[in-house]
Structure 1
Amino acid sequence: MSGELLYLLISAVFLVLLWLFVFSVIWAVRSDLFGPKVKRMRGAAASAGSAPAVSPAAAPAAPAASGRRAASAASTGTPAHLVFTAGPVRGRQLTLSQDALTFGRSVDSSVVLRDDYTSTHHARLSKRGDTWMVEDLGSTNGTMVGGQRISRPTPVGIGVPITIGTTVMELRG
C-alpha cells in the first residue's frame, strides 16, 4: 500500500513539474513574439512612425571593430550615419535624421531587422543632448556595446560596435 502511495506521489510531482516546464516555454515564446510595451519618448513620437530609408553605403563598410574598445575610447565628433558592419544588412548605412531609432523584428520598429536572434522590440538608439545612447528593451538575447552586454542606457561613441542579434552596427561621422 505504501509503495502505491509513493508511486502516486512521485507521478503527481512529475506531472506538476512537467506542466511548469510547458508554461515556462509558452511564457518565453509569448514574450519573445509580443515583447514588452515600448514607451515612446515625447520628442520621437511623431518621427518614429516613418521608417528611415536604408541605403547602400558609398564605400564598403569596414570590418567590425574589436569588442575591447570602450565607448570612452571612441573618437570624438558628431555622428551623422549608422553603418551596418555585419549581419543581414551588412554594408548599408542610415542617415541619423531622427532623435530616436528602435530596432527589432516588429513592423512598428524604426529599423526592422530580419534576424532570428533579434527580439520583437529589441533596442533603442536615442540622442540625449550631444550623446547617443543605446538601451536594451528587455530583449531575450541582449544588446552589446563594445563587446559588453548592457542592462541600462549606455553612451555610444563613433566607431564603437553595437550588436543586436547577428547585426553589428556603429556610428560614423
Structure 2
Amino acid sequence: MSGQPDTLAEARWTSERNDNRMQGLVLQLTRGGFLLLLWVFIWSVLRILRTDIYAPTGQLMANRGLNLRSIRPAKTNRRQMQYLLVTEGALAGTRITLGTQPILIGRADDSTLVLTDDYSSTRHARLSPRGSDWYVEDLGSTNGTYLDREKVTTALRVPQGTPVRIGKTVIELRS
C-alpha cells in the first residue's frame, strides 16, 4: 500500500479518471469564461446606449474645457456672411446662415441641424463662434466627429471649405 497502482489495469483506470477530471475542469473554466465575456459585452452595449441617450446638452460648454468668457460673438460682416452647407448625406444642399449662436448638430428635435443619419448621435456635435472663427467639438458621440480626416477630440478651428463628417453627413463652412 505505497500509493502505487498494483497492476497495469489499475494504472490505466487511474490515468483515465484523472483525464476525465481534467476535461471537466477545462469545460467548467470554458463555460465561466464564456459567461464572463457575455457579461462584458452586455455591459459595454448598455454603457454605449447610456452615453448616447444621456449625451450632454448644448448648455455644458464649461464642462467640456471651454471658457465661456473667452467666447465672443462672431462679428458679422454684411459683405461676407458665413453659412454652413451640407455637401453629402440625406440633407445635401441644406444651407444654414451662421450668426452669433452655436449650432447644435444631431438627431434630437431641438438641434439646429437635425440629422436623420443612423450613424449620428442625439447630441452629436456643436459649432461655436470664437471671434471671427468657428470651432467644432464632439459632444461624446458614439461614432465620432471628423474634421477633414482627423477625429475631433477637443474643440478644433474649422477652416472654410474643410469637410466636417458626422456619420454619413458632411458639412462645410463657406462664405
TM > 0.5: yes
The structure showing larger relative contact order (alpha-carbon pairs under 8 Å, at least 6 residues apart) is: 1
- Report the residue type matching 2:119 in the other structure: Y
CA RMSD of aligned residues (A): 2.2
How far apart, CA to CA, are the structure 1 residues paired with 2:41 and 2:170? 33
Q: d(CA) in 2 for partners of 1:28 and 1:16?
A: 19
Q: For 1:107-122, what aligned pairs fall within 5 Å after superposition?
A: 107-122=109-124
- Decide whether aligned partners of structure 1 residues 148 and 3 sit closer, same or farther in structure 2, where only a CA change above 3 A counts: closer
Q: Residue in 2 aligned with 1:38?
A: 57
| Counterpart AA for 1:145 | L
Question: Partner of 1:52 in structure 2?
Answer: none
- Of 91, 97, 102, which aligns to 1:100? 102
Unmatched segments (≥5 aa) in structure 1: 44-76
* 1:98 positional shift: 3.8
- Code of the residue aligned with 1:94 in structure 2: it is I
Q: Is structure 2 residue 30 aligned with structure 1 residue 10?
A: yes
Q: Report runs of 4+ in structure 1 exceeding 6 Å deviation.
A: none
How do 1:47-126 and structure 2 match up within 5 A?
79-126=81-128
Do 1:83 and 1:92's aligned partners in 2 also have CA atoms closer than 8 Å?
yes
Query: Distance between the aligned counterparts of 2:95 and 2:37, measured in 1?
Result: 48
Inter-CA distance 88–133: structure 2 relative to 1 (3 Å threshold): same
- Relative to structure 2, which stretch is displaced further, 101-110 or 78-87? 78-87
Residue by residue, what CA displacement relative to the aligned partner does 1:143-168 show, whole Å, maximum 9, x if unpaired? 11123222110101221111111111
- Give per-residue Cα distances to partners, 1:116-163, cap 9 Å, x unaligned: 111111100000111100001111211111232221101012211111
Looking at structure 1, the residues matched to 29 and 161 of structure 2 have their Cα atoms a distance apart, in angstroms, of 60
* 1:27 corresponds to 2:29: no
SS at 1:84 equivalent: strand
Please tell me whether residue 129 in structure 1 is matched to residue 134 in structure 2. Answer: no
- The answer to whether the 8 A contact 2:58-2:104 is kept is no
Identity of aligned residues (%): 42
Q: Give yes or no for contact 1:79–1:171 (8 Å, CA) kept in 2.
A: no
| CA distance in 2 between partners of 1:39 and 1:169 (Å) | 19
TM-score, normalization by structure 1: 0.71
